Amino acid sequence: MKRIVFFLACCLPGLHTFCQQAAPVSIIPEPVQMVQNAGVFMLPSTITIEAPILPAVKPILDMLQQRLSAATGYKVLFGNEMPSAILKLSLNKTADATIGSEGYRLNVSTTNITISANQPAGLFYGVQTLMQLLPAEIESKSVVQNVKWQAPCVTITDYPKVGWRGLMFDVSRHFFTKKEVKDFIDQMSKYKYNLFHWHLTDDEGWRIEIKSYPNLTKKGAWSVAKTGYFGTFSQPLPDEPKTNGGFYTQDDIKEVIQYAKDRFINILPEVDVPGHSMAAVASYPELSCTPGADKYDVIAGESFMDWSHGAPPIALKDNTLCPANEKVYVFLDKVMTEIAGLFPFEYIHVGGDECPKNFWEQSDAIKALMQKEGLKTMEQVQSYFEKRLEKIVESKGKKFMGWDEILEGGLAPNAAVMSWRGEKGGIEAAKLKHDVVMSPTTYAYLDYMQGDEIIEPRIYATLRLKKSYEFEPLLAGVDPKYIKGGQANLWSEQLYNVRHMQYMLWPRAFAIAECVWSPKEKKDWNHFVTKVEDQFKRYDIEQVKYAPSMYDPIFTAQNTNGQLQIELTTEIEGLDIYYSFDNSFPDQYYPKYTAPLTPPKDAVMMKVITYRGYKPIGRMIAMPLAEMQKRAGLKK
């Protein structure tokens, strides 16, 4: 086999490999089998990299070349095959049954590095592991001096627990540019995610060009710009300019698909119907059941749903496509034709979640449909819609997937279910012998707050890192052949920019990555925390933002015989908590928390901070005691 060889001349000429003590290995996600051996591999003055000449391997080599040269400053030279290659990437001539299609074997000795796999994807994941074996400075986008470019000697056999390892990114509530989406894909690829779920349509924006329906992006992609707490904004005025938004052309979509493919990531497109469709209805009012839909605009973040009675909500404006309107199915047929022509992945996600039914209940067209089709409930009306949509999707050569609400009223014959409202929907679908992706809010909703709401950007629920780390997609009592895998979801109602998007993703996406890749018995919370901190060092160098919430204390307010009592705990071990009630800023010379506290009679504020040893590590948190009294159910 012909091979391509890279020569990288390092900035330390004449340096040879040698054996010395290495730091403990820190890899996310944790490999299946790993043995740390004595010694290190030191990058020599000339590094040769040998690999198969294949189109699928070339992006791996381009990435490896770029990442090594950017941080080290090494010169990259090309040459012919060399038997003395320092780094060898090879594809097995006879398949290694142990590692499957995405696994790899990695060996680092004091003299060379080898990565072998059955498929190019395995080589890619082996390279990602190798990058984490190198010093954190390898993440730098510019040359870093005075670094010992070395990797510990290890022997690793690794392969994923499940085939579907996903991250969902909502670009509808707030638009993110093509470059920002590519950066998202870059980051997820480092942790062996292989599925990018692209939430492309919703009430707040239609983000994909559909040539059959130009208004979807001419009107449906734009809204009035608002800043604050999404869902509480004032109603947009008729003359306010609609400057907020954007969309991806079909050429943009193709470019991102190829970009993801080069990183061994499939893209699942989502067109969310029949609810969550205000952008479509505002663009083409004839798709609605409701008179007056021609007055609707794309939602800018104002409240238009009443959730006081639970789900599904009561709509104040009808954001649904009309199941009784034949124009809807013509529309969906043309949309799905264009979607299927763009995206090579086998599935199209059609949403189906949180569909309000109150406008349907008032519709004469819906009542006529129910009588004609023998439908008894509004859930059956939605099921009728989903079954017709499934036939449309399948006619394009694709498979049909939706959120777990599509179970209600009767599941379409071949539908796959993405279970988000806990695990119940996934269990039910699997027992019906339908494919399932587990994505429960309990563990995997990354738009939730990561710490106390007094300091985090406020949303309606909290999900701490430790809870995310408990995620297990393969549930006891469920046939694993129906569980395709798991994923985490990042909704963007409160995401206004890339830095905050990163803050919400990391480190919880580290946790989910390990939950969907690593064997359950290899997971260890305390070890994971040390690995997260190692990744923080890398992100500091790479200038990627992350949440330090795991260092912050957890507040518990209790009513003890009519008095407020405050308990403080920490998510991770080894931290001390210092506090004050006198409005000053505590440090390690202040009282250390050791037992539940009763605040002084007239105190109004508690301030706390966590330390590791003599170094502050958590954020200074100012907690109003009125808030603690409220949580304890005490009247002031």
| pLDDT in the model for residue 336 | 98
Residue 463's CB is within 10 A of a number of other CB atoms, namely 20
> How many domains would you assign to the chain?
3
Residues 6+ apart with CB under 8 A from 109: 37, 39, 41, 153
Query: Has residue 9 got a pLDDT over 50?
Result: no
d(CA 598, CA 616): 24
Residues 524 and 484 in one domain: yes
Residues 179 and 306 in one domain: yes
Residue 300 lies in a domain: yes
Instruction: Give residue-wise pLDDT tens across range 447-496.
Output: 999 999 999 999 999 999 999 999 999 999 999 999 999 999 999 999 99
Nearest CA among 193, 170, 192, 165 for reference residue 181: 170
pLDDT-above-70 percentage for the chain: 95
- Range 52-80 average pLDDT: 82
The answer to whether the CB of 2 falls within 8 A of the CB of 81 is yes
Residues 127 and 202 in one domain: no
Residue 235 lies in a domain: yes
| pLDDT in the model for residue 20 | 55
| pLDDT in the model for residue 546 | 98
| pLDDT in the model for residue 146 | 94
Residues 38 and 180 in one domain: no
Buried-state track 197-229, b at ≥16 Cβ within 10 A, e below 16: bbbbbbbbbbbbbbeebeebbebbbbbbebeee
pLDDT-above-90 percentage for the chain: 90
Nearest CA among 21, 33, 42 for reference residue 108: 42
Residues 6+ apart with CB under 8 A from 49: 5, 6, 8, 61, 64, 65, 85, 86, 87, 88, 89
Instruction: Give residue-wise pLDDT tens across range 522-556.
Output: 999 999 999 999 999 999 999 999 999 999 999 99
| pLDDT in the model for residue 138 | 96
Instruction: Give the lowest-confidence range in 65-69, 157-161, 333-337, 509-513.
Output: 65-69
Query: Has residue 350 got a pLDDT over 80?
Result: yes
Residue 311 lies in a domain: yes
| pLDDT in the model for residue 178 | 98
The answer to whether the CB of 393 falls within 8 A of the CB of 412 is no
Residues 322 and 173 in one domain: yes
Instruction: Give residue-wise pLDDT tens across range 212-222.
Output: 999 999 999 99
DSSP string over 438-457: E--HHHHBTTSBSS-TTTSP
Residue 536 lies in a domain: yes
| pLDDT in the model for residue 276 | 98
339: domain CATH number is: 3.20.20.80
Q: Are strands 113-117 and 563-570 parallel, antiparallel or unpaired?
A: unpaired
Instruction: Give residue-wise pLDDT tens across range 368-402.
Output: 999 999 999 999 999 999 999 999 999 999 999 99
Residue 272 lies in a domain: yes
- Range 107-130 average pLDDT: 97
Residues 153 and 169 in one domain: no
Angle, helices 498-505 vs 508-517, to 10°: value is 50
Residues 129 and 237 in one domain: no
57: domain CATH number is: 3.30.379.10
Q: Which residues are catalytically annotated?
A: 202, 276, 354
Query: Has residue 82 got a pLDDT over 80?
Result: no
pLDDT band at 19 (very low <50, low <70, confident <90, very high): very low
- Range 239-260 average pLDDT: 97
d(CA 410, CA 18): 65
What is the average pLDDT score of the chain?
94
Residue 408 lies in a domain: yes
Full residue range of the structural domain in which residue 570 is found: 552-632
d(CA 585, CA 515): 38
- The domain boundary, picked from 109, 131, 158, lies at 158
Cα–chain-centroid distance for residue 404? 19
pLDDT band at 83 (very low <50, low <70, confident <90, very high): confident
d(CA 206, CA 284): 12
628: domain CATH number is: 2.60.40
- The domain boundary, picked from 100, 131, 158, lies at 158
Residues 143 and 267 in one domain: no
- Burial of residue 486 (number of CB atoms within 10 Å: 0-12, 13-18, 19+): buried
Buried-state track 340-356, b at ≥16 Cβ within 10 A, e below 16: bebbebebbbbbbbbbb
Residues 474 and 576 in one domain: no
Instruction: Give the lowest-confidence range in 200-204, 225-229, 325-329.
Output: 225-229
Instruction: Give residue-wise pLDDT tens across range 320-345.
Output: 999 999 999 999 999 999 999 999 99
Q: Enter the tokens of residue 493.
A: 């109602």
| pLDDT in the model for residue 635 | 82
- The angle formed by the CA atoms of residues 267, 271 and 277, to the nearest 5 degrees, is 155
Residue 608 lies in a domain: yes
User: Which residue intervals of 324-423 are DSSP H helices?
Assistant: 326-342, 358-361, 364-373, 378-395
Residue 547 lies in a domain: no
Residues 398 and 527 in one domain: yes
Amino acid at 629: Q
Residues 456 and 394 in one domain: yes
d(CA 261, CA 267): 8
- Range 127-143 average pLDDT: 97
Residues 9 and 69 in one domain: yes
- The domain boundary, picked from 493, 520, 542, lies at 542
For 128, 182, 198, 249, 587, the CA distances from 257, given in Å and listed in that order, are 20, 10, 11, 12, 50
